[in-house]
Amino acid sequence: MDELIKNYAIIIASSITGVITLLTVAVTQIVNSKMQKRQLNHQKEMGYIEHFLDKRTAAVLEFREILEESFSLLDYFHSSKADFERQEMLKAEYINPFATPKTQEDIIPDSITLTNMTSMFDHGLKQIEPIEEKFIQLDTSFNLLSIYLSEDEEKLFIGVIKDIQQLAHNLIGGLRHYKEKGDPQDDYVLKFVHIEEPYRNSLESIRKKLKTVRLITKQYLYIHQLDK
């Protein structure tokens, strides 16, 4: 009888051990499954973040490239080199040819010929007209970038784009208009040599705004700015 009880106890103990083992295996599988699921979700989340950052980075870099190219064309038009080239084309005489620096006010209007004026306008258009090709690209690039911008940033960027386009339109429109008008004695002809106000003031205003745009877009290239 004692032997029977002993054997029966062994059987029960073995059964309990088996159940515990099965439960342990089951629990382990559940835990492992949850951990794998969490890892998979984390991988998916990181994939989404990386994809988002790649798209955002591409949009920022493309916009910056087109914006900088557009501004550089305006900046070059106002540079001493470009201005001197237009002066050379105009071939105007000065009241004091040895004065330094030369100014618009020193130019003798009667010394300007129609041929030289036309050459100056043509050269000026050659310097600035390439910016027109940038306008559609700039608008398209901004539309792609704008989804990442705050409302205030969007307004700032739109303002810079409009300022660049407006200044370029004024320059190109003026050059074309007065070339077609064909009057070498028109006071406006001299606005494109020794270039000053209002164009240079507009350029400097754009330059200041552009610095802010550069800072903002630079921040968007870093992961810690993701929440912006």
Tens-digit pLDDT profile for residues 29-65: 665 656 665 665 545 455 444 545 567 888 899 999 9
Name the more confident of 109 and 226.
Answer: 109
Q: Is residue 33 part of a domain?
A: no
Q: Is residue 27 part of a domain?
A: no
SS3 state at 165:
helix
Q: Is residue 48 part of a domain?
A: no
Give pLDDT, residue 225: 46
Please state, in angstroms and rounded to a whole number, the distance separating the CA atoms of residues 126 and 34: 67
Residue 112's domain comprises 56-225
State how far the alpha carbon of 195 is from the alpha carbons of 11, 68, 189, in Å: 105, 22, 11
Give pLDDT, residue 38: 64
Q: Is residue 174 part of a domain?
A: yes
Q: How many domains does the chain have?
A: 1
Q: Is residue 87 part of a domain?
A: yes
Q: Is residue 104 part of a domain?
A: yes
Give pLDDT, residue 9: 55
Q: Is residue 61 part of a domain?
A: yes
What is the per-residue DSSP string for 137-159? HHHHHHHHHGGGS-HHHHHHHHH
pLDDT band at residue 128, thresholds of 50, 70 and 90? very high
Least confident of 29-33, 121-125, 136-140, 151-155: 29-33
Total residues found in the chain within this entry: 228
Count the alpha carbons within 13 Å of 193 in the hemisphere toward its beta carbon. Answer: 29
Residue 172 above 90 pLDDT?
A: yes
pLDDT band at residue 1, thresholds of 50, 70 and 90? low
Name, in order, each residue with C-beta under 8 angstroms of 188's C-beta and a sequence gap of 6 or more: 174, 178
Q: Is residue 149 part of a domain?
A: yes
